[in-house]
Amino acid sequence: MRTVSIILLTATLAVPLNSGARAGAADNVRTAKRVFLEKIGAGHYERLDEIYGPGFVAHGASRDYTLDESNESDKTWRLALPDLKVTVERTVADKDLVAVHWRGTGTNTVAAGGMPGNGAKIGLEGMTFFRFSSGRILEEWSIIDVAALRMQLR
């Protein structure tokens, strides 16, 4: 009888720990989606302290970027594609990491960010990985299909 009680007690204690980990991952996914839906998609930059932690770094192919540099890049995308629409296609969370597969569409009506402003309609997709600490993003790695973008801007 004591063995059964210990097993039941162990199972009862394990449930809150597992559901808490899932809740943290779900919160991280919601925060990751905000980057694409609020910041990049809608151009809302006023509550970034809720999203990014101190010392945030976006790891690029040739160098790392600060949050300010990342924001300026996002603003340039919005300038070049004034009708930019961004969707989150899927997410995966594992411990302190969240992966986001996203898609953006828009019309390049303004010459900015290396885009010619020729009126081309574009569709772009990419994948971004975020590392979280205390519910905020500390690191980012993104992959974008630049070759497909260039072909669409011809």
H-helix or E-strand containing 55? strand 52-59
Question: What's the domain range around 62?
Answer: 2-152
pLDDT tens-place string over residues 42-77? 999 999 999 999 999 999 999 999 999 999 999 999
Question: Which CATH number does the domain housing residue 120 bear?
Answer: 3.10.450.50
pLDDT tens-place string over residues 80-125? 999 999 999 999 999 999 999 999 999 999 999 999 999 999 999 9
State the total domains in the chain: 1
In order of 6, 12, 31, 53, the CA distances from 3 in angstroms are: 5, 14, 43, 46
pTM: 0.84
- The pLDDT value recorded for residue 57 is 98
